[in-house]
Structure 1
Amino acid sequence: MSGPRERTRAAILEASAVVLGRNHDATLPAVAEAAGVGRTTLHRYFPDRESLLSATTADSLAAVEQAVTDAAIEDGSPVDAMRRLVAAMVSVGDRLIYLFGDPRVLGVDDDDCPDEDAQPEPSADQRVIQMIKRGQAEGAFDDQLTPDWIQQTLWALVYTGCEAVRNGELTRHAVVPMVTRTLEGGIRPA
């Protein structure tokens, strides 16, 4: 796609994640309005609701993967890596709310999922687990907690912080230190 077409498509997908993250049953006209395009334009890019949902899900997953990559969690101390990861996840908070706020979005049977072993690069989840294990090995994170538990706690705190921003309870600027403080207080060795 050309530059303007790609920007329009990106605007529609971003607006879709925001609008559908708030209400998965929102109308396509509501998405078009939020994207600043007409309904006809939206339908040129996404002819029906299913194609928009599919593209929004794929785009949101890619945004989360990119945020993890940008956080460079393989570099530096595990504590600093975790802090960068929290900031990166908050930056894609609307995408997280869309992906995880409604079980219908990612409601895929395990049989339909690609084989993780066939992936040439580790997924975002696998890289986060590796970073947590590194933190445990270096004594930065509590080794009495499982890496999966720490990861799920991380995602839950970030999601809760992003919801607080969406609901006007916190500013986006306040979320990162609040999540980081809560997480670090809970995963540091006793």
Structure 2
Amino acid sequence: MSRGAAGRRTKLAILDAAAHLVARKANATMAEVADAAGVARSTVHRHFPERGDLVDALEDYANSELVSAHERSASAGGTALDALLRFGQELFEKSDLLVAAYGNPGRETEIADGQNADPALNALILKGQGDGSIARELPAAWVAQVLWSLFYAAWLMNASSRMSKHEALGMFLETFTRAVEPR
């Protein structure tokens, strides 16, 4: 195994551990991240010299995962609603990462102002309205907010141990479907 491959795996292990920890404790320290990742604090600092670097890397990782999830869900066929449900399932598999990267307090204004609008998600919603799988009377921005709100509710139910991951995912997908399907 090459040194570069081992370094990439270590960096990914740190990011995954940080995502799990930061999603539940936004102010987690670098030492806590190191403990969660099972590495020395110096290893964390070698990859992420400052906490801000780790936070930026979590957001970059989340952005990359979102792009990949969009591509996979849109290419599998079926209606746009089917693709959105596949996308939602993929989101839920990466829920700790997404909550850690985007769940930062104080970003509500950015979200409300549409600064974090996701063009691929918006295009998929509009496609669903065109193919009749998503209610045409619902604004695309509303459908996107419903998706993200239900995603967060499902994550929270699972993270607080009120529902198993399987139950929370099922409720998320079922509730989203009922909310956006044409009547």
Tell me the TM-score normalized by structure 2: 0.86
Q: Distance in 2 between matches of 1:79 and 1:107?
A: 28
Change (3 A) 1:107 1:43: farther
Task: Give the counterpart of 1:18 among 8, 17, 20.
Answer: 20
Could you tell me how far 1:140 is from its partner in structure 2? 1.5
Partner of 1:61: 63
Could you tell me how far 1:70 is from its partner in structure 2? 2.3
Partner of 2:138: 145
Structure 1 segment 1-190 matched on structure 2, within 5 A? 2-72=4-74, 75-103=77-105, 125-190=118-183
Could you tell me how far 1:105 is from its partner in structure 2? 7.1
Please identify, of 53-62 and 35-44, the stretch whose mean Cα deviation from structure 2 is larger.
53-62
Could you tell me how far 1:39 is from its partner in structure 2? 0.8
Number of equivalent positions: 177
Could you tell me how far 1:26 is from its partner in structure 2? 1.1
Q: Name the % identity.
A: 29
Change (3 A) 1:75 1:69: same
Structure 1: gaps (5+ residues): 114-122
Query: After TM superposition, where is structure 1 displaced by more than 6 Å over at least 4 residues in a row?
Result: 105-108
Could you tell me how far 1:124 is from its partner in structure 2? 8.7
Could you tell me how far 1:104 is from its partner in structure 2? 5.1
Q: Distance in 2 between matches of 1:86 and 1:46?
A: 30
1:87 maps to a residue whose letter is Q
2:132 maps to a residue whose letter is G
Cα displacement string for residues 15-72 of structure 1 (whole angstroms, at most 9, x for unaligned residues): 1112112112111111001111011111111122122222122112222222222223
Please identify, of 8-17 and 77-86, the stretch whose mean Cα deviation from structure 2 is larger.
77-86
1:70 maps to a residue whose letter is R
Q: Distance in 1 between matches of 2:19 and 2:108?
A: 13
Could you tell me how far 1:187 is from its partner in structure 2? 1.1
Superposed CA RMSD: 2.3
